[in-house]
Amino acid sequence: MVDQLLWIEALFKGSLGLIMLLTPLTAARVVGLPHGASPFWPRLFGAALLAITAAIAVEGYSEHIPNTPDVRGLGLGGAIAINFVTLLALIGALVFRGVPSRRGKLLLWVISLFIVFLMLLEIAHV
């Protein structure tokens, strides 16, 4: 079950990271989130999500690679910590009215609920 949770994390964060890296301003406009004129920060966020995805993938593959017993990536504890901080930031944006559109608010609530659900599953397995 732990491997499956890690792969769900990797799929979720990897797909969001890839979208933000490849089409940062368009993605923000489509979902109704605020954006600036420069794609630098959304792309940097996408790159950070892809880095987290890579660390999760290392954890998932480490047991399948021969002669690498000490290779460790981002385990469930690290994923929970990242999810918790992300959740605080998303809820902060919602509470302090950092998102002007209804569509953006709905998306942040859906993502927040998914993160809470994922965290509860991960906490149950730690």
Q: How far apart are CA 109 and CA 7, in angstroms?
A: 22
Domain count, the chain: 1
* pLDDT over threshold 70, residue 64: no
Nearest partner of 101 among 35, 39, 5, judged by Cα: 35
Distances (CA, A) of 41 to 12, 28, 60, 86, 100: 20, 12, 29, 16, 19
User: What pLDDT score does 49 carry?
Assistant: 92
Region label for 67, one of left (φ > 0), alpha (ψ between -120 and 50) or beta (otherwise): left
- Report the distance separating Cα 88 and Cα 84, nearest Å: 6
Is residue 67 predicted with pLDDT exceeding 70? no
Task: Check: CB of residue 122 under 8 Å from CB of residue 3.
Answer: no
Is residue 76 pLDDT above 90, yes or no? no
Confidence of residue 98 (pLDDT cuts 50, 70, 90): confident
Q: What is the pLDDT at residue 36?
A: 81
Mean pLDDT to the nearest integer, 61-87: 77
Mean pLDDT of the chain: 86
* Location of structure tokens 């504890």: 77
Q: What is the pLDDT of residue 69?
A: 64
The pLDDT of residue 68 = 62
Which residue segment(s) compose the domain that 48 sits in? Answer: 2-125
